[in-house]
Structure 1
Amino acid sequence: MGPITRRRRWASLLGATALAVTAGGALACPANASTNVDFATHCIPPAVAGIPPIDGTTTAAISVDNTAPKVGDNVTVTYTVVKPAASNPTALALPADIMTPTGKITLGGAQTGSITVAGPKKNDPVPGNGAFPSFSMTGTFKVTTAGSITLSPGDYNIHTSYILELDTPCTVTNPPAPVSETITAQDTTPVNNRAITLRTASGNPGASVTVDGTGFTAGATVTLAGRSGDTQTADTATVTADANGNISGPLVVNDKTTTGVVAYEGSVYSAALGAGPAAYTVIDNTPIPAGSQKLTTTVNAGTLSMSQDGDSVALSAVNFGTGGASTGALRTVHVKDFRGGPAGWSLTGKVTDFTGPGAKIDAKNLSWTPACATKTGSPSTCQAGSAGTVGTSGATLASTPNGTVTGGEFTADAGLSLDVPAFTPVGTYSAVLTLTLS
């Protein structure tokens, strides 16, 4: 078999898969995308495919879940490749669900940088010599600066899992690509950038610990104080922030119950004007009486985590022309709070639009009725969120409050109901409900 024959054979087996990265075509971009943009793209199929690089035009769009966020908000972005640089170059039909896309979005204007986005391993079958289906990738970024922020599509890659595991990267030929979406970030409560570090993490009663800090108001009087849990001790000192907002000074710690040190501006500690607590331990060096033995033990802090009983929910079917409530139940979510300390937690959820055969059902049509339970012996008590719309903005499923001592094990559930309009086109619709524990 000659080199040309081998090349054609590999192309027939692998070429279409390798070029899945250049897919695009049939599906429209999300409804809230502002602009479809075209940009020159250079795609490099795997060498094993025997196919030369492809230079063409990609059509893409970017959408966001919030076009007017506040500084500090997290924004969810969707990068949709609507039309790729090329279509399937061979007569080989490709099966469904072999493509996993990833990519980047470029930020500009008031905030610069890039956002990593990824999509699910899901695609429709592709006929030989046919157009590839479009694909979407999502990600999030935190707004850090007020003003107009632009979003442009960037490089993307498709990992294909058919016959071989292959990657095909596509790069923007003349970056950055045209702007597809613009958001306007609003000013909000100033971000607290105060931070402290301790030069030592422990000491005997009466020992001095040096506290260094940054981000304080220039010239401000800053109080250094010991903390026992969430209560301030009698151990305090003051320092003055320099012209750059830096502090450095000693704090004598006598209280044996001290668990940390804080620094703050004003008369009392607050999260808005303070920093810390930085962990600190007082070593109890009280002499042991004759004939006695001192026993100690340590309780290690754990983590805040969640798991769920499954990752898919099939809601009940409704009839065309009638519509109505499509109902089901959220897979049970298990929360373990083994951190110790005073912080509670919040479990929230938000959902995308339900997309189907050329149509969609708005995310605002999904509502839930939350419920939660607390395992016996847990210091905290779980509180269910309010019944109502989930939507793209999100809602609370369950939470626990802050307290002197928190923690425990909990379960959260919810009844789900999707209001399907009467004449929604026949077909299957799907959405992604994302749960966030913080």
Structure 2
Amino acid sequence: MIAVSRRSALVGRRLAAVVGAAALAVGGGTLLAAPAHASTPVNFATHCIPPAVAGLPPIDGTSTASITVDNTTPNVGDTVHVTYTLSQAAASNPTDIALPADVVTPHAVVVLGGAQTGTIAVTGPKSNPPLPGKGAFPPLVMTGSFVAGSAGAITLSPGDYTIHTSYVLELDTVCTVTNPPAPVSETVTAGSSVPVNNRAIALGSTSGDPGAGVTVTGSHFTAGATVTLAGRSGANQTADKATATADASGGFSATLTVNDKTTTGIVAYEGASYDPATAAGPAGYTVNDNTPVPPGAQKLTASVSPGSLSMTQAGDAVTMTAVDFGDGGNSTGALQTVTVKDYRGGATGWSLTGKVSDFTGPGGTKISADKLSWTPACATAQGSPSTCAAGTAGPVGSTGATLASAPDSTATGGQFTVDAQLSLDVARFSSAGNYSGVLTLTLT
């Protein structure tokens, strides 16, 4: 079963709701402890081929290595720097010749698994103490990097390595993993970057005559930043501009003089140009048309009041399918339908994102948040100015992913129906019982 709790709150343009917790029934048994993986030295069988000139047979032995990274929680697109430390090689100096310092160069690969597959080439400097003939190689350190390309847990295992010696002769000892892949030594959890923009503005008035000043009060901007205040006319910026400086708490108060009669809103942003993802507003503003009425005529004025950006849910509980102990597999379900209403008018789109907690089961056992994936779908109601787009299918995770969105445009708004198929990857020997996690949706 999946039991879900729900809460919602609207703050400015932002709405968050806890929409679901999956309580998953799994057949009886015991839970196998999760394998240690963070910076863990691992042993693995290795088959080494000494250089032919040494006249030695192949060597089958045990290597010990560990993988470390500079960032265990990158976002997709971030570069992760990797260090492969071979603390014990299965082979040794293949000759009877003593080697002087700094003549040994190691090369290797790190094997990626899980959410991202492939290999990383790593290499080390010539940095070794003097070695006696047939002496054991010292610990060898190699470095490289990769770009996180997929959200979720990415495992790193030590792979094949080559030890090159440059003294008298150029010799290579080539060692391969006997039963690849080697055990996992490190895991990084990559998340989809879901930017949080808390910047907000409030206007001292919502209308005024041409040339009137309106007080703009801002909050949650970067302390000390120069903030541009500007009028907007649909998707375009008008010539009405002013600047303010955010104080130590990120707030400001300034006056913008509005002359353009086509102005429909006011925005505030940092940087050289307006970016709706990091700006505040638009806050609705109307310029009064005080053009004189000709004799014998009557001026007729009608108005449309802007509404809000909101969402509702068809329910707050999701029941997912059970899986059997010993088999594991995917526990599936469907997100309760979310209805988004964008009744603000103007030119700003919206984004609906989600993140999930770990699933907690019997005795505090857990299924990691990155094991939940979704396949989003989004439908636009007839007549809506905007068209929504479903997010990319894949892991949700604790850092979040996009469920659906609608872009900025000359005219935006409408009603949208958002759904998603859910799938939780359950390990074969997870403890029997119910597992619950909380999926939180945020509309901005």
The TM-score with structure 1 as length reference comes to 0.47
Higher RCO (C-alpha under 8 Å, 6+ residues apart): 2
How does the TM-score come out when normalised to structure 2?
A: 0.47
Higher CA-based Rg: 2
